[in-house]
Amino acid sequence: MTIEDLPVIGVSLEHPDTVAAEHWLAALPTTPVLACTHLMRSPRPHVALSLVFAGEAPPSLGPPCPEAAAAQLTRTSGRAVVYPGVRDLVGTLSVAEIIARSAIERVEVLGGGAADHTAMVDTGGFVRPHWRAGVLTLATTPAVGDRLVPFETRTPTPCCAAH
């Protein structure tokens, strides 16, 4: 049985942001094999989750969110937080190693297309790929030392922080 054969559960507790959604996810009694956050617009902007469990899902996860489940099933959107291999993505790894060790299928450089498989990525221990056109894709950006870093960081600079 593969991860694609397992049921997808969509849940919305109307988390205000991905940080709150990830805290909730970390507190679950059972860790899913795949968990993605999804930005929802209605009834007001919030973050929902799609979850895939290898075994039985914990009871009473919260209000269902069919939109999040559908996005995961179609791989049209979603930011992966838990996925196969995520724990092995620490330190500096080549693009080829990232693809070999995890469910990430493609690494891109913002504005530059697919990253060379020999390019080195300083993961910072925080790797959150997105579903893009059915492919789990990690967006990166060039960094000091001829390396790449994930575009999304654990501690992003707030918009207009320097103003």
Least confident interval from 5-9, 39-43, 49-53, 156-160: 156-160
Q: How many angstroms separate the CA atoms of 21 and 137, rounded?
A: 21
Residues 27-82: tens digit of each pLDDT: 999 999 999 999 999 999 999 999 999 999 998 899 999 999 999 999 999 999 99
Residue partners of 114: CB distance under 8 A and separation at least 6: 106, 107, 108
Q: Which residues pair with 52 in a beta bridge?
A: 8, 34
* pTM of the entire predicted model: 0.92
Closest CA relative to residue 25, chosen from 48, 6, 7, 43:
48
Using an 8 Å Cβ cutoff, are 40 and 68 in contact?
yes
Q: What is the DSSP string of 105-116?
A: -EEEETTTEEPP
Cα-only R_g, the chain: 16
Place of tokens 């995961």: 72
SS3 category, 24: helix
